[in-house]
A and B are shown apart, each in its own frame.
Chain A
Amino acid sequence: MGAEEGDRLVLAQGFNLHTFADAFRFLWHEHSLLTTKGLEQIELSAIAIGIAALIALPLGVWLGHLHRGSFFAINVSNLGRALPSLAVISVGLPVFGIGHTVVILALVVLAAPLMLTNSYVAVDGIDADVVEAARGMGLAPWQVLVGVEVPLALPLIFAGIRTAAVYVVATATLAGVVGGGSLGDIIFNQPTYFLSGVVGAAILVSLLAFAADFTFAGLQRLLTPRGLRYVESADKPEEEPPSVLEAAAA
């Protein structure tokens, strides 16, 4: 059982029932370290998600609006899923050097394809009659896009963002391998923090992933026009968006 010795927390070594209890003691005792590392993880993830969204969402929505490039838009998501993040990091390392840049690159590679495919499918799949009606009402193409297609596509677009966000937050752990600067510093350093520290940090990573999912779910609610919220919930009650449970952790 871990005991406090002066101001250092002594953790149980090896694996036993105390590992988990100690993991929570670690969370409590090392909260300032964990806050720093956790914030770094959030920062890395936020930058990556932001860049990926800036690249992928406009492109996906635009291609979907034109109903073009379906082969590219759909297959590129499998591409992103297929690329092992650690391999992307190791290949990018000589170019970008040790540090956050290469990690962010790997995270963008992970997130952008998912967002692209989902936003493409979302806009492409909108009921043609609705778009036709909007055109018939005399809306300009960009008004159709902004006023009709994007709001209707929001749930699926956000499903893509949420899945990508969870992947990204979990995978940002890999920063611990190259240059550091995330909870990966703890998870990849068992000799210093022992198994309990690793488990504690892992619990925190899971919580952050859930938090990312809930954040974007909340943002989605804020952005969805009230009328559509009702339609969504009444129309397809069985279709829950892919959430945290979809994402493989790093």
Chain B
Amino acid sequence: MIAATPPVIPNYGTAHGCIANDNALFCTTWIRQHWHDTLAPAIVQHLWLTAIAVGIGFAIAFLAALVAHRYGFLAAPFGVFSAFLYTIPSIALFQLLVPVTGITVTTIEIGLVGYTLLILFRNTLAGLRSAPPEVLEAARGMGLTRMQILRRVELPLALPAISAGIRIAVVTTISLATVAAYITPYGLGKPIFDGLQINYRTEYVVAGLLAISLALLADAVLVVAQRRLTPWARRRATG
């Protein structure tokens, strides 16, 4: 005889009708039951993954761009190195890193940082180089030192390009991080792959919708921030 209480499936809780039989699109019971132990933590993890990757990537790319700006001959090798990283399919890069750093979040982060480097390096360098020669001439004529020109002229002028780069890097990282969960189950990719593996629709559809919403939301927030930060450059910062 079938038990009176619904059977318990590991990781999926009590087998409510829509889990056991329907495989429905939106099994709201499941979403409610697993919001706190599966979905909410996945969102937070995803945000952390992205923030750390873009943060570290920006620190490296910014320094590299400064150096490449000062010593122009270094721009090409830096550019080639980061471009090379970019052409490797991410899922393969993550797998290559596993024997070195294991099935860890570090593996994901190294991969993600690698992919942010090209975007951030290119945009920062392009921004630094965008200062018109007359402006630089004027700054030099006013007696500013090289450091002062960088801080007070070149960096502010580079801000639109830099923030556009950060925006692209953030949405790209959110996207790549979903794939990375194939290697290390972490972030919103985990419920997607989990759901796909056992063909449980509610889980992968909801997680997919959350990932899309997260990306769109991050993009919108960054657009607003970008406009606030550089009110004078609305027309130039569409990239």
Contact = CB atoms under 8 A, between A and B. Distances in A.
Interface of A: 14-15, 19, 74, 78-79, 81-91, 93-94, 170, 173-174, 177-178, 184, 187-188, 190, 195, 198-199, 201-202, 205-206, 209-210, 244-245, 247-250
A84 B92 contact: no
A198 B179 contact: no
Contacts of B219: 78-79, 82
A250 B88 contact: no
Contacts of B179: 84, 86, 174, 250
B133 interface: no
Interface of B: 25, 83, 86-93, 95-96, 98-100, 115, 118, 167-168, 171-172, 174-176, 178-179, 182, 188-189, 192-193, 195-196, 201, 204-205, 207-209, 211-212, 215-216, 218-219, 223, 238
A244 B80 CA distance: 12
A119 B179 CA distance: 30
* A-B residue pairs, 8 tightest by C-beta: A15-B99, A202-B92, A90-B208, A84-B175, A87-B211, A87-B208, A245-B83, A249-B89
A190 B115 contact: no
A179 to B, nearest CB: 10
B172 A86 contact: no
B96 A250 contact: no
A188 B88 contact: no
B115 A248 contact: yes
A90 B196 contact: yes
Nearest to B97: A15
B87 A84 contact: no
Contacts of A202: 88-89, 91-93
A205 B86 CA distance: 12
Contacts of B207: 87, 90
Given A83-B215, A250-B91, A94 B175 contact: no
A90 B207 CA distance: 8
Contacts of B92: 187, 198-199, 201-202, 205
Given A90-B204, A245-B118, A195 B178 contact: no
B160 to A, nearest CB: 15
A15 B115 CA distance: 21
Nearest to A250: B89
A84 B86 contact: no
Q: Which of B87, B89, B171 has the most CB of A within 10 A?
A: B89
Contacts of B168: 81
12 contacts: A78-B167, A84-B179, A84-B211, A84-B212, A86-B179, A87-B208, A93-B201, A198-B92, A202-B88, A206-B88, A249-B87, A249-B89
A31 B97 CA distance: 25
Contact of A178 (B87, B196, B201): B196
Contacts of B172: 81, 248
Q: Which of A86, A170, A202, A250 has the most CB of B within 10 A?
A: A86
A86 B90 CA distance: 13
Contact of B216 (A79, A187, A206): A79
Contact of A248 (B176, B195, B211, B238): B176
B215 A91 contact: no
A84 B88 contact: no
B125 to A, nearest CB: 14
Given A91-B209, A250-B91, A82 B215 contact: yes
B81 to A, nearest CB: 11
A87 B182 CA distance: 13
A195 B99 contact: yes
Contacts of A79: 216, 219
Contacts of A249: 86-90
Contacts of A87: 175, 178, 188, 192, 207-209, 211-212, 215
B96 A195 contact: yes
Given A82-B216, A86-B189, A90-B204, A247 B211 contact: no
Given A82-B219, A184-B91, 6 more contacts: A81-B168, A84-B211, A87-B207, A90-B204, A93-B204, A188-B91
Contacts of A84: 174-175, 178-179, 211-212, 215
